[in-house]
Each structure stands twice: as C-alpha cells, then as structure tokens.
Amino acid sequence: MRKLRMLALGASMLALALSACSMGGGGTTVKIGSDGFDEARVVAEIYAQALEAAGFTVNRDGIGLGARAVTKAALESGQINLKPEYIGSGLVAGYGGEATNEGDTNLQRLQEKLTPLNITALDYTPGQDTNAFVVTQATADQYGTKLSDYGEVENELNWGLATDCPTNPVCADALRTAYGIDPDEANVTLLAACDTPMADALKSGTIDVAELCSTQPDIIVNGWVRLEDDQKTQPADHIAPLVRNDLLAAVDRTKFEKTLNDVSALIDTDTLGQLYYEVNIEKKDLGVVAGEWLRSVGIIAPTAS
C-alpha cells in the first residue's frame, strides 16, 4: 500500500508540474517594475494582472520603483525583468538616442540600443503620453499658448521642471536649444514630473510653468493650458513593455508576448488619461482600477457575482 501511495503521490506531483508548465510561467517569476508616477504604475499593474490571468507568476515589488534612471538600472541588472517604457523619451533620456514623432521609428531605434543589453521591446500602445509644459489660463492669457512665447520672459516666471531635467535632453537641452529658455538661469524648482507635488505647486502659484504629462488629469480638472511645443522637441511617447531576454527564454515566449501585445493594443490615449484620472484624482486602488479595465475589455474574466 505504501508503494502504491508513493506512486500515486509521484503521479500527482508530475501532473502539478506539467500543469504549471502548461500555464505558461513554470517556476519563473516575472519581476515587474515601473517609474514612480501613477500612469506608469497603473500600466505596470495592468500588465501584471493580465500575465497572472494567463498563468504567469508575478512579483510587483518594483512597481513605482523610482525615476527612469532607477528603473533602467534595475532592468539591466535583473532586479526587475519587465517594465513599461515611454519609447520616445526612453530612447533619448535613457539610451542617448535621437527620437522622432514616429512611433515605429522610435521603437526601432530603441531596440537597437536594447539589443546589446539582451532586452527586447514588445509592441507599443496606440495611446501615448508626451511631456508637456502647462500653465494656468491666466498665464496663457498674459504670455501666450506656445512655448516659443516664453523664451523672452523666462526670468519673469517660476518654472517647475522634472528632477532629471538638467540631464534630460528632451527637457533642459530642448528648452535651451529650441526655445532659448535656459534652466540654469531661470527661476527653477525641481519636482517629480507628472506627479501631485508638481500639480499642487502650479495650483498654489508657487510655480507658473509646470512640466507635466500630457494626459495628466489635473490639466482638465483645473482648466489649465498645455503650451504648444511648436518647435516639436518632444518625441512620440507610446508605451512598450521592455523585457529581459533571459525571462523570455524561461517562459512560454509566444504566450507571454501575445498576452502583453494584446493588452497594449487596447490602450489608447483616452484610456491612459482615464486610468491616470482614477488613480491620481479619484485615489482609487491601483489593483482595482487595473482589474476593472481588464474586465471591461475582456482580457480577464468578470468577477463572479
């Protein structure tokens, strides 16, 4: 009887192992990370839940890990093995490339930078979120609605710029070269871009120009004005998952890539704005927002009533 029980136990363990492999993840953990602002966090959580629904094991410790420099280093070191990236600004600020207003071109150029690092960029979202310089309606009425209107009055204003602006080519270099706005000479406060402190500073009048994300809900809520980037300095910033090749080699790659690509294909610009609004303004739980959206588009099954 003991032998029969041992045989039965062995068969059961084999079945469980085969089941785990068939689910796609096996014993490999997807360690997902993201930049610290809410839009990046909720997109990462959407990818995480979609992968879990497809049978992959996910660790979320890296979601909201920090600024791009932090998440880039984490991805390259293997601390995380997946992160959503804004392909235009990621190409420029992360890897020293030259971005365009074309998503396909940016993705191709980014992949050329990633290939020697054994990292793959998957399909990008149709939606995008570009860097934006934002003012109140009163400031726009006084100075204008184009960024080029602000070159000669930079010292009359207080600027809220991203913490990485001094070293970010699409921030300091772009302002200086295209618009004659020198962050080294202007009255600048460095704050986390696309985050609540930046929006609060503009709302309180501490700053007059804020560097925000173009889909940031505070812009709509407060009736603010996005200044036109009339010199077209900001790159097309669709979002693509960046994945370490050692992770792709350890999982069912076809299933893994299809899961993420299917999700990305459904994230348009309006969706990004709505997700951002729900997390940042309505203060909804990150997991709840991601799960509701995934169920609404049929990626994961509805919750049983």
pLDDT in tens, 209-257: 999 999 999 998 999 999 999 998 988 999 999 999 999 999 999 999 9
Q: Which domain holds residue 243?
A: 22-128+236-296
What predicted TM-score, i.e. pTM, was given to this entire model? 0.78
Q: What is the structure's pLDDT at 137?
A: 98
Q: Which of 184, 284, 171 is nearest to 234 (CA)?
A: 171
For residues 124 and 241, state if they share a domain.
Answer: yes
291 domain residue, yes or no? yes
106 domain residue, yes or no? yes
Summarised one tens digit per residue, pLDDT across range 156-199 is 999 999 999 999 888 999 999 999 999 999 999 999 888 889 99
**Is the pLDDT assigned to residue 70 strictly greater than 50?**
yes
Question: CA 50 from chain center: how many Å?
Answer: 16
What CATH number should be reported for the domain holding residue 182?
3.40.190.120
List all residues 6 or more positions away from 234 whose beta carbon is below 8 Å from its beta carbon.
Answer: 88, 89, 130, 131, 132, 170, 174
For residues 149 and 187, state if they share a domain.
Answer: yes
For residues 110 and 139, state if they share a domain.
Answer: no
75 domain residue, yes or no? yes
9 domain residue, yes or no? no
For residues 46 and 166, state if they share a domain.
Answer: no
Domain boundary (176, 205, 226) is at: 226
What are the distances in angstroms from CA 200 to CA 28, 40, 89, 195, 204?
A: 41, 20, 24, 9, 6
Domain boundary (202, 226, 250) is at: 226
For residues 179 and 119, state if they share a domain.
Answer: no
Domain total for the chain?
A: 2
